[in-house]
């Protein structure tokens, strides 16, 4: 996503319904209840690389996706053979800031510089003329990827992503018959760079004797390639996604990257339908075992043109959407989730921070992100939906349990009796209310945590 051009990502509403099977039954449970790893909690920080950047509280962010920070190929190498010192410095700084926050950086590759583009006359492209078009030669791309991977692997980056939203109609030209094939070729070239080997002398035994022999070892051990961040909310996007993964070269990845933005008016639960559709396509191409990272997600984006305005979502619903998305994604076997964005303003319906003059404050949604992260630090089993539309996500908390509950029916509350050994109820702003077993508890659209002592 790019803030000034979000309107082009989708213009038509698509009706979706939450499939109960996605959140019910043993099939949706994680392999084993474990604490959610820190790197699951990802974020976009648009000010990354600048001196006045705003980050969540130190230690709460597990990973950060470096996109919209001025570090694309077109910005790093605006002319052939020349690397722009200012752009390189900003990306260097963004990586260093992420590492200082103990957040694992994910670096996004692309977009094509004008000098390398097959069609440099496309002045409508978002980063530079011709930036949404394949390069004239894959050699140009390979040399760029080598530069970036080598430089930033040494600075602690272990995750690289092929491209941003190639099936959204903005960052990649999908109008040509070969668009999926061309993107797959770039993906393969990036995979070959990231998983390149080098010969290293090692002592090995040959016929009982120890000899020194050169053997191939990974040049960048631990580095992974994430597929392009693929959108799936519109039929045309899913169709392109299907064409893309039908390419053998597209399947040379370590992780699948998805952007689960729903249409305005839709809820976190609706994203599970998108996820199910994508997973069917992954299974058809023998990719079902690959980890899935949601490399962008939020709610209420402006659609229908670049002048569109974001959906107005009440503050309490913004907070609720953040918590519900984090919980449901993890319950449905998403390994990382990158929220867009900590410092995005005026473009999406959910804002985690607010700016007044020179002061930045954390909104209710931003607080909910931190509170939910804390709830999920305990082993999460699964999230189940009952016939009343009440979701329950169960966590193990020492000798007791935590039950996160909400209803997905707008403006509908359900009253329940607190379970045995209940000790307290917490809301998404961290407020604690004492409760005992049998006392009434109201479940609404905003998740609450009920804790028990056993």
Question: 259: pLDDT confidence band, cut at 50, 70 and 90?
Answer: very high
The number of beta carbons lying within 10 Å of the beta carbon of residue 413 is 10
Quote the pTM value. 0.92
Are residues 448 and 345 part of one domain?
A: no
Across 432-448, average pLDDT? 97
Segment holding 242, helix H or strand E: helix 235-245
Looking only at the bridges linking them, the beta strands covering 359-362 and 353-356 are antiparallel
Q: Is the pLDDT of residue 1 over 80?
A: no
- In order, the DSSP letters of 366-409 are HHHHHHHHHHTTSPEEEEEE-TTSEEEEEEEETTEEEEEEEE-S
Tell me: do 95 and 158 sit in the same domain.
Answer: yes
DSSP 8-state class, residue 339: E
Residues 178 and 122 in one domain: yes
Boundary (domain end) residue, out of 334, 349, 380: 380
Domain boundary among 365, 380, 395: 380
**Do 375 and 388 reside in the same domain of the chain?**
no
- Looking at the fold, whether 430 and 297 belong to one and the same domain comes out as no
* CATH at residue 414: 2.60.40.1180
Arithmetic mean of pLDDT over the chain: 90
pLDDT tier at 212 (50, 70, 90 boundaries)? confident
Rounded distance, CA 64 to CA 158, Å? 12
pLDDT tier at 23 (50, 70, 90 boundaries)?
Answer: very low
Q: How many CB atoms lie within 10 A of CB 156?
A: 12
Does the pLDDT of residue 14 top 70, yes or no? Answer: no
Better-predicted residue by pLDDT, 29 or 262: 262
Give CA–CA dist 346/404, Å, rounded.
30
Q: Print the domain residue range for 298.
A: 3-27+34-380
In this predicted structure, what is the pLDDT of residue 200? 87
Confidence class of residue 214 from pLDDT cuts 50, 70 and 90?
A: confident
Whether residue 55 contacts residue 342, with contact meaning beta carbons closer than 8 Å, is answered with yes
315 Cβ neighbours under 8 A, 6+ residues apart: 363, 364, 365
Q: What pLDDT, on the 0 to 100 scale, is given for residue 12?
A: 27
Q: What is the mean pLDDT of residues 172-193?
A: 97
Which residues pair with residue 293 across a beta bridge?
Answer: 257, 336
| Band (264; pLDDT cuts 50, 70, 90) | confident
pLDDT of res. 31: 53
On whether both 279 and 253 belong to a single domain, the answer is yes
- Reported residue count of the chain is 454
Contact 275, 332 (CB under 8 A): yes
DSSP code of 51?
T
What is the percentage of the chain residues whose pLDDT exceeds 90?
80
CATH number for the domain spanning 355: value is 3.20.20.80
Cα R_g (the chain), whole angstroms: 23
**Best CA proximity match to 223, nearest among 296, 266, 159, 165:** 159
Confidence of residue 30 (pLDDT cuts 50, 70, 90): low
Is 118 a residue whose pLDDT tops 80?
Answer: yes
Across 211-226, average pLDDT: 92
At residue 202 the predicted structure's pLDDT band, cuts being 50, 70 and 90, is: confident
Sequence-distant (6+) residues with CB within 8 A of 52 are none
Give the per-residue pLDDT at 372.
98
Per-residue model confidence as pLDDT tens digits over 380-427: 988 999 998 999 999 999 999 999 999 988 878 999 999 999 999 999
Residue 269's contacts (CB-CB under 8 Å, 6 or more residues apart) are 18, 23, 324, 328, 408
| 239 and 267 both lie in a single domain | yes
CA distance 330 to 336: 8
β-pairing verdict for 159-161 and 104-108:
parallel
Task: Report how far residue 445's alpha carbon sits from residue 411's, in angstroms, rounded to the nearest whole number.
Answer: 7
> Which residue did the predictor score with more confidence, 230 or 211?
230
Between CA 299 and CA 282 the distance in angstroms is: 25
Q: Is there a single domain that holds both residue 7 and residue 65?
A: yes
What is d(CA 88, CA 75) in angstroms, rounded to the nearest whole number?
A: 9
Q: Which of 153-167, 203-217, 276-290, 345-359 has the lowest mean pLDDT?
A: 203-217
Mean pLDDT for 62-85 is 97
The helix/strand/coil state of 234 is: coil
CA atoms within 13 A on the CB side of 320: 23
Q: Looking at the predicted structure, is the pLDDT value of residue 231 above 90?
A: yes
In this structure, the answer to whether residues 362 and 431 fall within a common structural domain is: no
> pLDDT class for 59, splitting at 50, 70, 90?
confident
Q: DSSP letter at 177?
A: T
The pLDDT of residue 306: 44
**Co-location of 373 and 395 in the same domain:** no
End position of a domain, from candidates 380, 405, 431:
380
In this structure, how many other beta carbons lie within 10 angstroms of the beta carbon of residue 48?
A: 31
Determine which of 90-94, 202-206, 290-294, 378-382 has the lowest per-residue pLDDT on average.
202-206
437 with 327, same domain: the answer is: no
Q: Does residue 284 sit in the same domain as residue 395?
A: no
Domain count, the chain: 2
pLDDT tier at 13, thresholds 50, 70, 90: very low
């Amino acid at each position: 996503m790019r803030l000034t051009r979000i309107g082009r990502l989708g213009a038509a509403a698509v009706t979706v319904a939450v499939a109960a099977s996605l959140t019910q039954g043993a099939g949706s449970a994680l392999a084993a209840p474990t604490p959610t790893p820190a790197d699951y909690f990802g974020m976009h920080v648009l000010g990354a690389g600048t001196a006045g950047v705003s980050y969540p509280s130190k230690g709460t962010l597990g990973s950060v996706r470096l996109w919209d920070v001025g570090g694309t190929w077109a910005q790093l190498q605006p002319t052939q053979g020349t690397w722009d010192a200012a752009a390189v410095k900003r990306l260097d700084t963004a990586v260093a800031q992420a590492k200082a926050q103990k957040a694992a950086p994910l670096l996004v590759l692309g977009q094509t510089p004008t000098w390398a583009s097959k069609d440099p006359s496309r002045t409508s492209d978002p980063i530079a003329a011709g930036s949404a078009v394949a390069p004239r030669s894959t050699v140009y791309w390979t040399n760029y990827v080598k530069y970036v991977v080598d430089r930033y692997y040494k600075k602690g980056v272990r995750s690289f992503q092929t491209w941003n939203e190639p099936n959204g109609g903005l960052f990649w030209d999908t109008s040509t018959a070969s668009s999926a094939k061309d993107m797959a070729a770039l993906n393969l070239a990036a995979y070959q760079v990231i998983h390149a080997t080098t010969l290293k002398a090692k002592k090995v035994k040959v016929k009982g004797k120890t000899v020194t022999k050169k053997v191939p070892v990974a040049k960048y051990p631990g580095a992974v390639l994430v597929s392009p961040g693929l959108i799936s909310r519109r039929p045309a996007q899913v169709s392109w996604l299907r064409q893309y993964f039908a390419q053998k070269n597209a399947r040379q990845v370590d992780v699948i990257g998805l952007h689960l933005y729903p249409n305005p008016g839709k809820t976190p639960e609706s994203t599970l339908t998108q996820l199910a559709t994508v997973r069917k396509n992954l299974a058809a191409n023998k990719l079902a075992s690959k980890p899935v990272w949601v490399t962008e997600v939020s709610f209420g984006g402006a659609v229908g043109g670049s002048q569109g305005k974001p959906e107005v979502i009440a503050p309490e619903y913004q907070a609720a959407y953040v918590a519900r998305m984090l919980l449901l994604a993890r319950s449905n076997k998403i390994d990382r989730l990158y929220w867009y964005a900590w410092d995005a303003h005026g473009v999406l319906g959910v804002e985690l921070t607010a700016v007044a003059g020179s002061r930045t404050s954390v909104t209710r949604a931003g607080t909910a992100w931190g509170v939910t992260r804390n709830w999920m630090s305990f082993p999460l089993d699964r999230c189940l939906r009952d016939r009343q539309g009440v979701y329950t996500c169960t966590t193990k908390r020492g000798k007791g349990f935590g039950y996160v509950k909400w209803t997905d029916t707008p403006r509908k509350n359900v009253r329940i009796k607190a379970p045995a050994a209940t000790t307290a109820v917490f809301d998404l702003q961290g407020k604690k209310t004492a409760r005992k077993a049998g006392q009434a508890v109201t479940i609404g659209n905003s998740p609450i945590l009920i804790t028990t002592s056993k």
